[in-house]
Structure 1
Amino acid sequence: RDNISETKYSLFNPYLHVAEHKVIIVGLDNAGKTTILYQFLMNEVVHTSPTIGSNVEEIVVKNTHFLMWDIGGQESLRSSWNTYYSNTEFIILVVDSTDRERLSITKEELYRMLAHEDLRKATVLIFANKQDMKGCMTAGEISKYLTLSSIKDHPWHIQSCCALTGEGLCQGLEWMTSRIGVR
């Protein structure tokens, strides 16, 4: 057989197991979680409304399959985030870089997650979103405020991004891909 038919065959062969890596996308409401998910999926901005519950999509990066769960961030929903933690390999925490008032809540939620037994092996990617906005905090400022340097038991990375343009998102995914199999 030629390479093309063999590739097609393996793509549609139900007996070949593809490893999927579970990712939860969390953050406060209006941080840009859903916009980021659909930017990954379609490379375009989709009109979103507040997520009630979750959205789930498979994103494939260089033959790596991520099953991404975008979880609603409204205050009333945050207490149910832990129902999504089982088998999670990656946490993507999306931070609205313009929302200085609620950064302390983001910090609280981050450390609550990191203390959870089901996330003890999770790797953390923080997206400092909305970097295109005037007066936003830099990734460095956010890192310092969240005291990321104190996180010793989880690999983590902070990435500046703009969900609307997609800027910085690929770099974040590449970092996640580079972490697979490291721990």
Structure 2
Amino acid sequence: MGLTFTKLFSRLFAKKEMRILMVGLDAAGKTTILYKLKLGEIVTTIPTIGFNVETVEYKNISFTVWDVGGQDKIRPLWRHYFQNTQGLIFVVDSNDRDRVVEARDELHRMLNEDELRDAVLLVFANKQDLPNAMNAAEITDKLGLHSLRQRHWYIQSTCATSGEGLYEGLDWLSNNIANKASLSVLGSCLDNACSCVFHTSLCGMFWFQNFWKCFSTL
């Protein structure tokens, strides 16, 4: 029993590893965000053909972040990265009003995939420094986020070049994934604990029955 709870606490408070998939239309700022988080600086980027993958250390969490290219011919390949994804970051160019409906369609198409049914969703409303940028409330409406009733989601206004909003988004993402993982661990350990208690009680009951049987024959 003691070992069960020792295992529980060690798993709850151990360093956590999380697999994050970051997608969005091309030129939304995904790669800039990835390397701002990884290196703390702006890097020169070109359109991503394929993917970039980096490990980002933040607080007690190690994020493995997959940045997948967003050009229309590449998007059918996104599904190959869905497996084991715990968190989805969808990056939107807040200044690109002409393609926000296209972004919405791609987002909802992804969320209908069975492999992403348990993934939490973080939307980065990026490029908030531009004068014509839509605010978070407007993007929430345009993307139809309020219709996602069976999904944990959050939208964060960001500016990839300055880093504004990025870590606030990571905080939300890490807390929600960690909470889901902790509940899963807790449930598993409690099941084991109950099994141990039941087994111990069962053994005690059999011992008592045998003892009473022997005693009654005296």
1:24 aligns with 21
2:150 aligns with 153
Q: What secondary structure does 1:158 align onto?
A: strand
Does structure 1 residue 57 correspond to structure 2 residue 54? Answer: yes
Q: What secondary structure does 2:149 align onto?
A: coil
1:171 aligns with 168
1:11 aligns with none
Flag the structure with higher helix content.
2
2:203 aligns with none
Q: What secondary structure does 1:80 align onto?
A: helix
1:35 aligned partner, one-letter code? T
Deviations 1:88-114 (A, max 9, x none): 000000000010111111101110111
From 63, 68, 73, the equivalent of 1:66 is 63
- RMSD of the TM alignment (CA)? 1.1
Deviations 1:109-132 (A, max 9, x none): 110111001000000000000000
Q: Which runs of 4+ in 1 moved over 6 A?
A: none
Identical positions, percent = 48
Q: TM-score normalised to the size of structure 2?
A: 0.75
Aligned length: 167
Q: What secondary structure does 1:66 align onto?
A: strand
2:55 aligned partner, one-letter code? E
Gap regions ≥5 residues in structure 2: 1-13, 181-218
| Structure of larger gyration radius | 2
1:72 aligned partner, one-letter code? G
Deviations 1:62-92 (A, max 9, x none): 1211100000000000000000000000000
- Once residues 130 and 171 of structure 1 are traced to their aligned partners in structure 2, the CA distance between those partners, rounded to angstroms, is 16
From 85, 93, 112, the equivalent of 1:115 is 112
2:186 aligns with none
Gap regions ≥5 residues in structure 1: 1-16
TM alignment of 1:5-24, pairs within 5 A: 19-24=16-21
